[in-house]
Amino acid sequence: MLYFRMLLIMGVSLFTVRVVLDTLGTVDYGLYNVVGGIVTMFSFMSGVMASASQRFFAFELGRNNMSQLKKTFAMTMTIYVIIAVIILVLAETVGLWFLNNKMTIPPERMEAARWVYQFSILSFMMTMFTIPYDAAIIAHEKMNVYAWVSIVQVVLKLAIVYLLVVFSFDKLKLYAVLTFSVTTLISFIYRNYSKRKFEECRFAFYWDAALFKEIIGYSGWNIFGSLAGIFQDQGVNIILNIFFGPVVNAARAVAVQVNSSINQFVQNFMTATRPQIIKYYAIGEKEYMMRLIFQSSKFSFMLLFVLSMPVILDTKFILALWLKEIPEYVVLFIRLIVVKTLIDSVSYSLMTAAQATGKVRAYQSIVGGMILLNLPLSYVLLKLGYPPQGVFYLAIVIAIICFYLRLVLLKRMIALSVRSYFIKVILPLLLITIVAYILPFLFFERMNEGIVRFIIVGFVGLVSSGISIYVLGLTKNEKEFFKQTIRNITGRLNL
């Protein structure tokens, strides 16, 4: 269900970006992404609490402690109300001042930018109050529901595209209003389902100082890590706006959308895997947890690698098929951001393992501190006159350093063997990457650009990746499981 959801979302997302970019224009599309990003800057607390909610819900489910689960849900909802008030005040004061005085926005589009800002705040507020219900669905591993609601969401996004084309109202303002409307409807669906299906989601005010301290204590250092991620993403986006204007923001927005679409494969996999890692830790099954960490690190990279190969090689041709207007810098931006995501994909299970322990002070201060360097160093690079792609190269270097730091920290936190991880995960992935790229790269270099090259390179890349992954990436048990799965499928199809 998650992969069916992903395929639909990927197709719709890529289609809607094409239409929205064409309808809004490069400047307005860039404005929407960077102005909405200011609100995202203030949403770091909701991201922290989402992680905390999923961790605590999965932990109590792993221990089968329903009474404590109800208290945890009620406490998290109370905390969300407090956070909502704080973020609303910050967004309507500091954020609004920054929008009016520091952003590079054409004067004639300032009113529309304010519309985007206010409706982005409203959308954020609706999303934030939905997070505990969403976390409950994931913790209960009801992935089919999660998938179906996401499918409804992408259908509504198609409706947005249609209405943008049909109505003559200011397109940027209309896009902001319609996006808020979809967010509101999806929030209602999640909350209504969770209240009906999960006993703990029937909220009643509850206060427990000890539980509050435990949740906030866990979240405290995660706040720092979340802030680091926000500054790396939206902070750098705002710096790009200050130095280069909304056109570069539009190029980055397209690159992020392409990357997000293919990264959905990995996120779906981790959505299903994450609660299991936490539950294994909760009941003390360290061996199973470690095995799942190694496998999910490896499989996350493999999934993304197969999808990313044609995108990295034939970026320009894909964009020509997809977009009517290709923003400057977007080809290089896409390649660099996908490379960074490939590096990060190996770390997703490591991040979950760290969160499962609940003891994240050293982890977040060290890794988060390194990620946070993206913002000041990016500013220094651009101030020295480097082109916009310099911030992406910097992000790749920092991602590699952070990956190594996670391994070192997890060695102390859960006794993860760094040597074993390199032998069983990193070495096979490096071999796969080198071997799988040889043939498709040769075809790419020797053929002229066009649909024929795209199809051949894509097919050769798929075959070479598949063979390399099977021969170099899978263990004996994993190969046997794969063969048994194929036999089961062919048996059902009577082949």
pLDDT tens per residue across span 160-178: 877 877 777 777 788 788 8
pLDDT(58) > 80: no
pLDDT(196) > 90: no
pLDDT tens per residue across span 197-228: 877 777 677 777 777 777 766 666 566 666 67
**Is 366 exposed, middle or buried, given 0-12, 13-18 or 19+ CB atoms closer than 10 A?**
middle
Q: Which residue has the higher pLDDT, 32 or 98?
A: 98
Among left, alpha and beta (phi > 0; psi -120 to 50; other), residue 475 is beta
216 near 79, Cβ under 8 Å?
Answer: yes
Which pLDDT score, from 0 to 100, does residue 460 have?
Answer: 92
Which pLDDT score, from 0 to 100, does residue 113 have?
Answer: 81
Tokens of 79: 């905390």
pTM: 0.68
281 near 60, Cβ under 8 Å?
Answer: no
What is the number of residues in the chain? 495
Task: Identify which of 19, 30, 457, 494 has the alpha carbon closest to the alpha carbon of residue 253.
Answer: 30
Tokens of 247: 């056109």
Please tell me the distance from the alpha carbon of residue 466 to that of residue 460, in angstroms, as a whole number: 10
Which pLDDT score, from 0 to 100, does residue 426 have?
Answer: 93
Q: Which residue has the higher pLDDT, 304 or 245?
A: 304
Q: Which residue has the higher pLDDT, 445 or 105?
A: 445
Average pLDDT across the chain, whole number: 80
pLDDT(26) > 70: no
pLDDT tens per residue across span 68-101: 777 777 777 777 777 778 878 888 888 788 777 7
pLDDT(1) > 90: no
Which pLDDT score, from 0 to 100, does residue 224 have?
Answer: 65
Mean pLDDT confidence for 236-245: 82
Hey, what amino acid is at 165?
V
**Is 167 exposed, middle or buried, given 0-12, 13-18 or 19+ CB atoms closer than 10 A?**
exposed
pLDDT tens per residue across span 135-156: 777 777 676 776 777 778 778 8
Which pLDDT score, from 0 to 100, does residue 194 have?
Answer: 81
Which pLDDT score, from 0 to 100, does residue 404 have?
Answer: 93
Please tell me the distance from the alpha carbon of residue 281 to that of residue 182, in angstroms, as a whole number: 37
Tokens of 106: 């054409």
Which pLDDT score, from 0 to 100, does residue 47 have?
Answer: 55
- Of 144-153, 327-336, 424-433, the least confident: 144-153
**Is 107 exposed, middle or buried, given 0-12, 13-18 or 19+ CB atoms closer than 10 A?**
exposed
pLDDT(257) > 80: no
pLDDT(231) > 60: yes
pLDDT tens per residue across span 100-128: 777 777 788 788 888 878 888 888 788 77
pLDDT tens per residue across span 268-323: 777 778 778 887 887 888 888 888 899 889 988 998 898 888 888 888 888 887 77
Which pLDDT score, from 0 to 100, does residue 192 have?
Answer: 85
Q: Which residue has the higher pLDDT, 237 or 26?
A: 237
pLDDT(39) > 60: no
* Residue 420 burial (CB count, 10 A): 11
Which pLDDT score, from 0 to 100, does residue 339 have?
Answer: 92
pLDDT(434) > 90: yes
Which pLDDT score, from 0 to 100, does residue 427 have?
Answer: 94
Please tell me the distance from the alpha carbon of residue 445 to that of residue 449, in angstroms, as a whole number: 9
pLDDT(45) > 60: no
Please tell me the distance from the alpha carbon of residue 363 to that of residue 352, in angstroms, as a whole number: 12
Please tell me the distance from the alpha carbon of residue 168 to that of residue 322, in angstroms, as a whole number: 24
Which pLDDT score, from 0 to 100, does residue 403 have?
Answer: 93
Which pLDDT score, from 0 to 100, does residue 400 have?
Answer: 94
pLDDT tens per residue across span 359-415: 777 887 888 888 888 889 999 999 998 999 899 999 999 999 999 999 999 998 888
Please tell me the distance from the alpha carbon of residue 183 to that of residue 190, in angstroms, as a whole number: 11
396 near 343, Cβ under 8 Å?
Answer: yes
What lies within 8 Å, CB to CB, of 299 at 6+ separation is 269
Q: In three state form, how does the secondary structure of the chain look?
A: CHHHHHHHHHHHHHHHHHHHHHHHCHHHHHHHHHHHHHHHHHCHHHHHHHHHHHHHHHHHHHCCCHHHHHHHHHHHHHHHHHHHHHHHHHHHHHHHHHHHHCCCCCHHHHHHHHHHHHHHHHHHHHHHHHHHHHHHHHHCCCHHHHHHHHHHHHHHHHHHHHHHHHCCCCHHHHHHHHHHHHHHHHHHHHHHHHHHHCHHHCCCCCCCHHHHHHHHHHHHHHHHHHHHHHHHHHHHHHHHHHHHCHHHHHHHHHHHHHHHHHHHHHHHHHHHHHHHHHHHHHCCCHHHHHHHHHHHHHHHHHHHHHHHHHHHHCHHHHHHHHCCCCCCCHHHHHHHHHHHHHHHHCCHHHHHHHHHHCCCHHHHHHHHHHHHCHHHHHHHHHHCCCCCCHHHHHHHHHHHHHHHHHHHHHHHHHCCCHHHHHHHHHHHHHHHHHHHHHHHHHHHHHCCCCHHHHHHHHHHHHHHHHHHHHHHHCCHHHHHHHHHHHHHHHHHCCC
Alpha-carbon Rg for the chain in angstroms: 23
Please tell me the distance from the alpha carbon of residue 159 to that of residue 120, in angstroms, as a whole number: 19
What lies within 8 Å, CB to CB, of 340 at 6+ separation is 392, 395, 396, 399
Share of the chain above pLDDT 90, in %: 14
